[in-house]
Each structure stands twice: as C-alpha cells, then as structure tokens.
Structure 1
Amino acid sequence: MKDYDSSIYEKMSVAVDLLVFTIENNRLKCLVVEREEEPFAGMVALPGVFVGIDETLEEATIRGIKEETGLEGIYFEQLYTFGAVKRDPRMRIISVSYMALVPFEKLKFKAGARSTDAFLIDVDELLAEDSDKKGIRNDFAFDHKDILTYARQRLKNKVIYSKVAFHLVPKEFTLPELQKVYEILLGRRLYKANFRKKIGPYIEETDKMTSGEAHRPSRLYRIQD
C-alpha cells in the first residue's frame, strides 16, 4: 500500500440525518430544527451532523442528536442512504438517515448550537397534498422533506411486520391504547377483533387494571419477552 495515492480521487463528505418520531395528541410528529447556519439559514431541517474521520456512523448519530437537540439515550435504526449529486450546495455530501420512535413524555429537547429552534412538526399534515393551503410550515432545507416522506412510508410498512409500534406505548398499556398507536402509524382505522388477533402473539396480560378513570377499568398488557 506504500505506493497507493489517495489524492487521485475526489473527496466527499458523509453526514447523518436523524428522524425522531413521536405521538402527541393522537398525531404523528417528527422533531425538526430551524437552521442558524448557511446554507438554508432560517429553514426547517432534520437534526444532523457530519461524520468525523474517526467516528462510526452510530457514534455520529449519538453525538448528532445530543448536539442538535439535547436528547440522549435514543435508540436509532438505520433507514436509508441519500446520495443525489446536488443534494447539498456546499459539496458532494452523502447522508445516511437514521430513525427512532420515542414516547412523547420522554422527549425533553432544546435547540442546539447550530439551531435557533427545535420543535415537533405534524408529519401527515405536512405531507398532505393540500399542506400549502393549510399554512403548514414547508420550508425544508436540502432534501430533508424527501427523507421524511421516505421515512413515513417505511413506518407504514414496518408496523405491519414488526413490533415497532411498541416503542410508542408505556411498558404496560391497554389494548385500546396500543390499537390507537397502530392506527396512527398506519394512517387508517382497524377492526378491533382483527387487530387483537394479530397482536395476540406479541403481548401478555398483567394482573393490573387501570384505575381512577370515569369509565370501567381496563386490563393492562405488556410485550412478551
């Protein structure tokens, strides 16, 4: 390798862009930031950072979400790689996107060092065809709206064959609570009997019931180990 000359190749950069989904008021939300730096200063973006020369992608993800939003202890799953040649006006940058689902009560976020604000945006309202008419903020930097669109479709597909919805319910939950999360992620209503048959193998009853509610108590369940 002593004769290998890496200078004959053009250099490019790698970044990670991070999608943190939650459910607030029965709506699917995604955490975004308002950029302070150019390019696209003042526009909406996904949290993200460049990958350091001595960093793994996973290490950059952990660092990035903390620097951009103050969040820690978030489990991310790799989503997709976006590599359009002109996706960033600064230079050739390839972005590896990562996705996480976090219960709303665990999201204690703030604007980071390179942002003027951090906030949740309604995903389905944003991606609706008439979002412009509703006054939904739509000024996304880079190709981040495309990344969000891809992630939304992946969520709909993933909830069908995986336990991803369980990330958005408490450790112990009622069946109506779990069904509502499934419906939000899928974007459609579900029949109770069919839903309970489908998720039956994944859950088990506890000996606990809900209490302190106006209606009758409901059985609490948990995910099977």
Structure 2
Amino acid sequence: MSDTITQQDKEFLNNYDSSIYEKPSITVDLLVFTIEDEELKIVMIKRKSSPYKGMLSLPGAFVGMEETLDEAASRGIKEKTGLVDIYFEQLYTWGEVKRDPRMRIISVSYMALVSIEDLYRAAGSSEISNHLYTVDKLLQSEEHIAFDHKEMIAYGRERIKNKVEYTQLAFEFLPDKFTLPQLQKINEILLGKELYKANFRKKVKDMVIETEEFISGGAHRPSKLYVRKINTDNIEN
C-alpha cells in the first residue's frame, strides 16, 4: 500500500465492500521455447482433467493474491521445468470473455527462452523430452489445442521471429561456449530462412568474443569456440 495514503482513505478502505464486484481469476500461461534437432520446440502438457481433458495445452499457473505476475511466471516455470534465473518476458494479455469455460479467467502469457542443455539439466532429459513439441508442426496441425493456446504459440513464434533481427535473443538458446556455425544455425531456425555466412559474421562480430578453445569438427577441421560478449544492456538491445 502506498505510503501517501491519507487518513480519509484509510477510513474509506476500512468500510469498503469489495464483494460488490465480481472478480475474475488471473493466470499466467508459459511458452518455454528451446531448440533441439534443428527445430524450434515448446514445452506442452496433456491435460489430466476437464476441461479439454487429454488435449495439449501450455503449462501455466494461477496468480496468487500476494504474487506479482512475474513472480507467478517464475514460480510456474520452476514448477514445470525446474528452471530458475532464465530469460523470460511478458507477451500479451488474453481476455476474451469465453476463453475458459470454467469461469472468467484472464491470462497473461510469458515467453521463456532456454538452451536444450539447460532444459535437460534442470528437468531431466527423460522427463522433459516427452513434453517437447515442434512449434511449426503444432501450428500447422489440425489437432485441437486447449483454450486459446494455439493463438498464444503463434503470437510467441512471431515475436521471436521479429526480435531476433534486432536483439541478441538467439544467444539464449546456446550453451556458454559455441561456434559461429552454431550461432548462425540458431538464427536461421528462428528466422525461418538461410543466411549468408559473410553477412551474418559481420553482423555478430561485435556480439561475440573469440576464445582459444576449439571443438572437434569430426570429418571437418576443428571449429573455434566463442562466448557471448558481456553487455550491460538487456536483451532488447
């Protein structure tokens, strides 16, 4: 409560009847994206109860009375995947009156980005692999997805495609050390198109730092490893 509240306000609030208004419930729906087998994938669950029992849906959580939206999103991501301290951002607020057949529920969708290595480490590869679905296949499929979650996935997919052009978003899908071909491939997957090697390397040269380490290239010569350049700005820049 604000420190500037007056005595008159306190008296008003002591007598205020909050039951005169109906109260919608608030949820957060979580779009946890990763890249595996050169495909953009998302964490989905099969609902164990009605409504939409047996259908795919995004993981989510109801917002507690003493929680902020971000706190609820962090809690939901941790409960569903074991992940903590990862990048996530608020996407959009979904407020169609009939979007949930149970009651009036407003949902705030969040997008989280994580490397497959971190996801497997946090959640366990055998556990989480059954919950990973290819985003493009989900969007193209005729299979019904619970609630308005297919719209949320489409919205998140488009946000990623737009942001990768002007941010360092692609780095969120990589391990701490990576090769430039790996970084380029991640960008191509997110953009849905091939990139010219020379142009791409020119674009990212100020975003990476060369190490003295190499990774075996198998039949090819070893590739040099790089790390992301520490930036005091956030992912938006």
TM range (shorter): 0.7 to 0.9
Counterpart of 1:206 in structure 2 is 211
Q: 1:72 to 1:218 in 2, by over 3 A?
A: closer
Query: 1:212 deviation in Å?
Result: 6.2
Matching residue of 2:82? 71
Could you tell me which amino acid in structure 1 is paired with residue 176 of structure 2? K
Equivalent residue number for residue 158 of structure 1: 163
Decide which of 90, 108, 111 is 1:99's aligned counterpart. 111
Counterpart of 1:215, as a letter, is H
Counting only pairs closer than 5 Å after superposition, residues 131-146 of structure 1 correspond to structure 2 as 131-132=141-142, 138-146=143-151
C-alpha displacement of 1:118:
5.3
Give the conservation status (yes or no) of the 8 Å contact 1:34–1:118: no
2:197 pairs with 1:185: no
Match of 1:43 in 2: 55
Q: Residue 83 of structure 1 aligns with which residue?
A: 95
5+ residue gaps in structure 1? 111-116, 133-137
Q: Which residue of 2 aligns with 1:11?
A: 23
SS at structure 1 position matched to 2:138: helix
Gaps of 5+ in 2: 1-11, 231-237
What is the CA-CA distance between 1:59 and the residue it aligns to? Answer: 2.1
Residue 124 (structure 1) shift: 1.1
Map of 1:119 onto structure 2: 131
Give the residue type in structure 2 aligned to 1:174. T
1:34-70 residue CA offsets vs partner (Å, 9 max, x unmatched): 0112111111000001101111212212222333x24
Counterpart position of 2:9: none
Letter in 1 for 2:200: F
Q: How much identity, in percent, do the aligned residues show?
A: 57
Q: TM-score, normalised by structure 1?
A: 0.88
C-alpha contact (below 8 Å) 2:26/2:63 kept by paired residues: yes
Deviations 1:9-55 (A, max 9, x none): 21101000001111111011000000112111111000001101111
State the aligned residue count.
211
What secondary structure sits across from 2:220 in the alignment?
A: coil
Report how far residue 85 of structure 1 moved: 1.1
Aligned to 2:234: none
Distance 1:184 1:70 in 2: 23
Distance 2:217 2:150 in 1: 42
| Amino acid across the alignment from 1:194 | N
Larger Rg: 2
Please name the residue that 2:225 is paired with.
220
Q: 2:235: which partner in 1?
A: none
CA contact (8 A) 2:77 2:84 kept: no
State the TM-score, normalized to the length of structure 2: 0.84
Contact 2:217 2:223 in 1 (8 A): no
Label 1:39 to 1:55 Cα distance change in 2 as closer, same or farther (>3 A). same
Taking a change above 3 Å as real, the CA distance of residues 187 and 212 of structure 1, as seen in their structure-2 partners, is closer
* CA–CA distance in structure 1, aligned partners of residues 224 and 62 of structure 2: 47
Q: Shift of the alpha carbon at 1:155?
A: 0.3
Match of 2:199 in 1: 194
Seen in structure 2, the aligned counterparts of structure 1 residues 118 and 80 have a Cα distance that, compared at 3 Å, is: farther
